[in-house]
Amino acid sequence: MNLDFHFGYVAVIGRPNVGKSTLINALLGQKVAAVSPKAQTTRRRQLGILTTEEAQIVFVDTPGIHNPRHKLGVFLNQEAEEALPGVDVVLFLVDVSEEPTDEDKWIASRLSRLARRTPLVLAPNKIDLFPAEALTARLEAYQALVPKDAPMLPLSATTGEGLESLLAALMEHIPARKPEYEPEQITDLYEREIAAELIREACLQHLRDEVPHGVAVRIDEFTERGDEGAYIAATIFVERESQKGIAIGRGGEMLKRIGTAARHEIEEMSGRKVFLELRVKVLKEWRKDEKAMKRFGYRIKKK
């Protein structure tokens, strides 16, 4: 056995839309997590497992921490908070293309208190979007939110700039330990769960306004069909009749577009052909209803 091997957990924390899931996909070199330009894409904790010659680093993707407006939001914040205990290092991701927001400040103060026990690394993301001459001042504004000894590693999850330096900084806090996962395993979700996330991602990308945020996806059937690939049937749940009309579109056009996008992503992820059948159902105001939320695995814990 390699005695120099390292193993540890990194919680990836930040407000919605800063690029946490994009970063994890980029580090793994493979897409395991749904990504979209809309806030609150990630709804549940998900592991991204990176195995190299020297180490196995388990990244914990979390929902963006925000000021919740409904019960689903309360659940999302809990999911993110629960990723913190027991990790070896916390990666605080921020978006340099925007000034620090109140949410950034709130998260920073919470993580700074925790930093006495769990090391904190600050990663300003999306440097590709910000003019280089103004970058220093913007980075200083973010650095001021965290303890002075927390290292700052600016990066771009989409161009890959800064990823190697980030990994090196994280490795400083990953202890010498045996790996806990098989080297081939890259996430803790089953293929059918990733498929559901990719269908929801397609909804987030194609639907507008409040509609996509009220979408939940259930896989009804996932069957292997040998050389023909996989057959997947899924239901897209929306919150209102009017949203059902929007999700289906004139002559079923929107649903077709969502289906095509989702099928491409699922085929790419699973490396085989996929036949995807989608339907849309209404589950009234499910984001305000804890019982309905539970059906999708979004369970609020009482404190």
Ligand X SMILES: Nc1nc2c(ncn2[C@@H]2O[C@H](COP(=O)(O)OP(=O)(O)OP(=O)(O)O)[C@@H](O)[C@H]2O)c(=O)[nH]1
Q: Between residues 95 and 230, which has the closer beta carbon with respect to Mg ion?
A: 95
Q: With CB cut-offs between 5 and 8 Å by kind, which of ligand X, Mg ion, none does residue 157 bind?
A: ligand X
| 3-state SS, residue 232 | strand
Does 21 engage in binding with Mg ion (CB under 5 A)? yes
| 3-state SS, residue 256 | helix
* Residues in contact with ligand X, shown as a per-residue x/- string from 237 to 276 under the rule CB under 6 A: ----------------------------------------
Does 40 engage in binding with Mg ion (CB under 5 A)? no
To 10 degrees, what angle do helices 163-171 and 20-28 make? 90
* Binding residue for Mg ion, selected from 42, 156, 205, 243, defined by CB under 5 A: 42
Q: With CB cut-offs between 5 and 8 Å by kind, which of Mg ion, ligand X, none does residue 18 bind?
A: ligand X
Say how far apart CA 100 and CA 138 lie, in whole Å. 9
Q: What angle do CA 13, 61, 237 make, to 5 degrees?
A: 115
Smallest separation, CB 2 to ligand X (Å): 33
* Binding residue for ligand X, selected from 37, 226, 251, 271, defined by CB under 6 A: 37
Q: Which residues contact 23 (CB under 8 A, 6 or more apart)?
A: 12, 93, 123, 125, 155, 157
* Alpha carbon separation from 255 to 23, 42, 166, 268 (Å, rounded): 29, 22, 40, 20
* Binding residue for ligand X, selected from 6, 20, 31, 200, defined by CB under 6 A: 20
Answer for the pair 173, 35: CB distance below 8 angstroms, yes or no.
no
Binding site residues, ligand X, CB under 6 A: 14, 16-22, 35-37, 39-42, 63-64, 125-126, 128-129, 156-158
